[in-house]
Structure 1
C-alpha cells in the first residue's frame, strides 16, 4: 500500500478530521511490517520521511505559521494513534514536539518565528541533553562545552547519550556550557561536520529509536544557532508535556498489543487445545482475556487525554514565557499521576498476550514480546518509584514536586 500526502503537503490538520482517510492511510502504511522492522532491526527512515511529507511535526505550530494549531489533547490523541501502529516511530518524534513546545513559549520573537516556520515546513528537530558520568540525572551539570577557537569561531565539543530521534532528524539540539559556565542551547544541522551519530542503543526495547551516542568534535556553531535558553524549571516552568509524551507512547503500545491479541486469537481457528471449551474465537477464557486487554488500552488512552487537558490549561496560560504557577503544578501533577497509573496497567496488559496462544505465540517471527519490551523500556525513562514517592509526599505532607524536568 502506498499513499500520498495531502495536496501540496498543505494541511496536517487533515489528519484531525473524524474518520480522516489521510490518517487511516498514514497509519496503515506506517504500521505495515512494523513488527518485522523491529525484529530485523530495519530503521524506519521511509516512515519518518512520510511523516515529514505530511508535516506531522507541524501539528502544534499555529495556523498563522502554516501549522495545524492543534491543542495538546488533539496532539496526544494522534501520538497515541501513531504509537498504536509503531511505538518506535512515535517515540522518535518526542524531542521534536518538546522543541516546538519550548519554542511556542520563547520570549525571543526572532527565534520563535524562525523555528516555528521551520517546523511548519516539515523540519524535524532531535538531539540530546544527557551525558553519561557521575552526576545526578536531570541536574544541569554538563561536560559538553561551547567555546571559541583561536580564530574566534564557536566550536562545540562533548559526548551525549540517549540521542533519541537524532538519526532521523534534520536539525540537532544540544545543551552545553559556554566559556562563562552558563548553560546554552544550540541547534545545528544534522549533517554538520564533526557530528557523529552512533546507532549503539542496545536496550531490550524501542530498538529503532536511535537512542545512542552522539560525539561532537569541534563542531562549528554559527552565532544565530545559539538559542536564548530559558530554564524549564522554577515557578511556572514545569514541563509535564515532555513526560506525558512517553506515557502517550506507552498507551499506544498497549493498544497495539490489544490489536495483536485479537489477531492472534483469530489466527488460531481450528487449533484449540484438546481440553478447551470451544474454538479459540468462541472460548470464553480467551474472550475474557482479550476483553481485559482492550479495556486496559482504553483506560490508558483515557488517562492520557485527561492529563493532556491539564497541559492545555497550562499552555494557554503562558504570558512572556511563563505559565500560571498553579496551572503548571497541576499539569505536572496530572502527568505524573498518569505515568504511575498507565505504567502499571500497560505492563500487565502487554504481558497478558501470551495467555492467548500456545508456545507458538512466543516465536521470534511473531515478535509479540515487543509490546512488553517496549513498554518496559519506555517506563524506565522516568522511574515509577521516584515519581510515585514524590506524589505521595506531596499528598501527605504538602511537599512540592521536585523542581526539575522530570516533572
Structure 2
C-alpha cells in the first residue's frame, strides 16, 4: 500500500487537514472513534483506508498526519475536538508563541524550537509506512506561520527525503493591497520554496472559493466552514483516485508526470464540475451528461483560482471523474472533442499531455457524478504577475519592511524573492496565447 503523510501547517493548514480527515472518515466508513464499519470481502478489496490511516493492533484507525503551528491554540482545539480519537499524541508539534503573521518570525521559531520535535515525529511516521508514496502539505501562503514554517518544512522534506514527492495545496490571499500588505510579503518570500522544493502545487484563492459558494451553493454570505469545505471537497475527489481502484491514475506522481513539462512549472489550477453543499440531497438524482461535466471543467466560472483559461495555453491536465455512471471511453472522447474544438488553448507541441482517472464509486452526500481538473496552464501567470506587482509596490516604498528586518531578514532577500518570481513568470511567457497586445480571445 502506498502511504501518504498529511501535514497541516499554521492555523489554516490545520483547519483544512482536520476537515479533510473528516471527509476521509465519511468516505471510508470510519467512525469518529476510529472504528471502521465492517465490509464484505469484495468491498475490502476496493477500499484503501491505509493510505491515509494507520491500523492499530486493536483494529482502530488513526491518521497518518502531522499538525504543526507556532501557536498552541488551534492544536488544542483539535485535541479536544470531535476528531481527537483519530489523532495520536505524536501527530502534534507546536510552540507557545505565535508567528504574528510574519514570515521571518515563524521561520525563526522553527529553527529555535520546532525543528527537533518536528523531525523526530516525522521520522516515526515515515518509518511506520510499508511503501511510502508522498508528503501532502496544506497551508496558507499569506499567513506568517504558513509561509515561514511552510518554507522551512518543504526545504527539510526536499533535503532529507530527496526521492519522495511533495504535493502541496496552498491558499492565496487576494483583495485590496492595503488590507493584506504583510500577506503579500509573506507569499512572495515563501514562494521560492514552492518552486525549488515541491514537485506539485495546487493553488486556490479565497475570492474564487467565496464566489463559488455564493453562485453554486446559493449562499448569500458563505462562512469559513463553507469555503473550507469547497477546498476539502476538491482534495477528497482528487485523492479518491489513490484511495479507491482507478483506471490509469493511482498516485500523485502519475498526476504530476502527466502534466509537468518542466520541473519548475508545477503550479496547477483547480476546477470542479457538479458541485454540491455538504449533506444535501439536492443533487442526489443528478444525471449530468458526460460531455457537460467535461465542458464545465474548462469553464473559468468553475475554477478555484482567479484566472481566465482563454488567456493562456494548457501544457497538460489531469481530469478525475468519480461516479457510478461514467464510461472511460465516453470521457476520453468528450475530452478529445473539447480539446480539438479549442485547439488554440492547448500547446501544439504537447498534443496528448494529459491523464484521465475514473473511479466507479459515488461520493456520500455529494453528486452521483463529479469531475475535477488539475490544469497546468500558462494563464496562471495572471495570478503571479498580480502578486509580484503588489509586492513591488510595497518594496519600492519599503512599507512595513521593519516588521521583517527586525526579525533578522535582510533586504536582499526581498529583492531575490522578487527576482525569482519574475523568472518563473517569464518561463510561462513563451507559450502564452494571450500577451495583452492582441485582441482578447473569445470566452472558452
Under TM normalisation by the shorter chain, which class is it?
0.3 to 0.5
The TM-score with structure 1 as length reference comes to 0.33
The TM-score with structure 2 as length reference comes to 0.31
